[in-house]
Amino acid sequence: MSILLTTLNARYTHASLGLRYLLANMGELQEQTRLQEFVIGAKTTEIVERILAYSPKIVGFGIYIWNVEESTKVIAMLKRVAPHVIVVLGGPEVSYESNEQEIVKISDYLITGWGDVTFPKLCGEILNGPKPLMKTHAGVQPPMADIKLPYSLYTDDDIKNRTLYVEASRGCPFKCEFCLSALDKTAWPFALDAFLAEMESLHARGARLFKFVDRTFNLNIKTSLKIMQFFLDKLEANPDDPVYAHFELVPDHLPDALKEGISKFPHGALQFEIGIQSFNPAVQTLVSRKQDNQKAADNIRWLTEQSHAHMHVDLIAGLPGETVESFAEGFNKLWALNPHEIQFGILKRLRGTPIIRHTQEYGLVFDPYAPYTILANRDIDFATMQRLVRFARYWDLVANSGRFTNTLPVLLGDTAFEHFMAFSDWLYANTDATHRIALERLVAMVGKYLQERGMDKAEADALLASDYAGPKTKVVETPAPKRQARRLAA
């Protein structure tokens, strides 16, 4: 065995689509290539030991924002105990501003951008000569038809136990400056019939949850409709063994034909991730995000009221020009539209993204370590930003968890942001914890807070008990890695 493809996934359930693409496109080197995934948090020595158990000549690492630090440690150790092993890097985290990165310095080769044809070519040169002279190789983007689809490489175990990521297109035509996909400038579709044939065979093998990583599923409505029809046909043929599909949508583009298709899906079969990011027109202009806010709001309202889709809508705090007040306004506006989940993200400076052009004027200060979260800006100081970070975490625990369905509206009252911020500040002051709050303790704390705000104990207990007893509305776990870690939802 000559070549090992590896990466550290954020969770076991996240099967790496990127590695499977590389394996599918290895050509004559495929037989001597293996794939081994790890999960962040695993012991470095164990990862290195398991990599070396393959006796590889080349190890290709997929580097992402969530694994760059641990991968750096793995490669440092690997190169110490087995300096003869050639390390090739690829992935979004090392595709831009790579020269300054420690992980690049300690590795042998780097492929930036698309690896589908450049990785096998580079491996061939390393194994058979002539030895590549350059360390960094700009990935060649082949015609989409030349890329072999990787879906047959999902094993039966992947199909049974993991999220299956699929893509009908790559790239995005929009240019939101905080998002890596902005650098694509366009989108490239895969041949639809070939793609659907692969989906057919995954379904026949038992796949039931398909997570589309296309940046904007509703870009080409004809294609969207055909893909949705594929799932509708499956649902009709197998109502007792339903299929689930997850798509990322741009919010202001939902023509009637698409609405008609969406409305045919039964409860929970469709999951939409919708990027609003900011409702503030001045901020949108600053970050080159084109969005018709009225249309976006109307469409979210339509989806809530007229479809059975589960909706997860993204907002980002910390964008240049966004004050706490303007963010609160957008949050309250979104909350009033009643999506199932609001993903409250904090701005991150993804390598290569043009958002840095605002650094000076808007005083953007980012953590120098991954995931490069914003720490302060001209309008939000460090302490306030930390309050927002805690808000986001508690919002996940209380609102997005679906554990407090009946209690949440009482907690939020008529101004969701302000009331939840007050709760968040109180919870932090009284627990000093953000991540590890056991559910029982959280319930007790919510009850205590309600009482401190004047609610009768019996009433608070009954309200919280109704959440324990009642049905949970937020039944669908979002299976993706954090979107801004990978890129941002459209």
The CA distances from residue 65 to 9, 50, 276, 371, in Å, are 11, 23, 22, 6
Rounded CA-CA distance 137/466 in Å is 59
62-85 burial by CB neighbour count: b if 16+ within 10 A, else e? bbbbbbbbbbbebbebbbeeeeeb
Looking at the Cβ atoms of 269 and 488, the one nearer to ligand SF4 is: 488
6 or 278: CB nearest ligand SF4: 278
To ligand SF4, the closest distance from the beta carbon of 175 in angstroms equals 6
Distance CA 37, CA 15 (A): 8
Rounded Cα distance between 275 and 442, Å, is 29
How many whole angstroms separate alpha carbon 188 and alpha carbon 50? 37
Runs of H (alpha helix) within 133-249: 156-161, 192-204, 221-237
Rounded to a whole number of angstroms, the minimum distance from the CB of residue 173 to ligand SF4 is: 7
- Residues near ligand SF4, by CB under 6 A: 172, 174, 176, 179, 181-182, 215-216, 250, 275, 488, 490
d(CA 383, CA 369): 19
Q: What is the DSSP letter of 266?
A: P
Nearer to ligand SF4, 309 or 488 (CB): 488
The span from the CA of 182 to the CA of 484, in Å, is 13
**Smallest distance, Å, CB 216 to ligand SF4?**
6
Q: How far is the CB of 90 from ligand SF4 (least distance, A)?
A: 20
Closest CB to ligand SF4 among residues 182, 317: 182
**CA-CA distance, 172 to 182, in Å (whole number)?**
7
Taking the least distance from each CB to ligand SF4, the nearer of 228 and 319 is 319
Contact 86, 58 (CB under 8 A): yes
| For ligand SF4, the closer CB: 21 or 174 | 174
CB 309 within 8 A of CB 339: no
Closer of 207 and 316 to ligand SF4 (Cβ): 316
**Minimum CB–partner distance for residue 85 and ligand SF4 (Å):** 36
Distance in Å, CB of 467 to ligand SF4, minimum: 34
Q: How far is the CB of 179 from ligand SF4 (least distance, A)?
A: 3
**Cα radius of gyration rounded to whole Å, the chain:** 23
CB of 317: closest distance to ligand SF4 in angstroms? 15
By beta-carbon proximity to ligand SF4, the closer residue of 8 and 488 is 488
Per DSSP bridges, beta strands 341-346 and 310-317 are parallel
Q: What residue has token string 């594929």?
A: 230
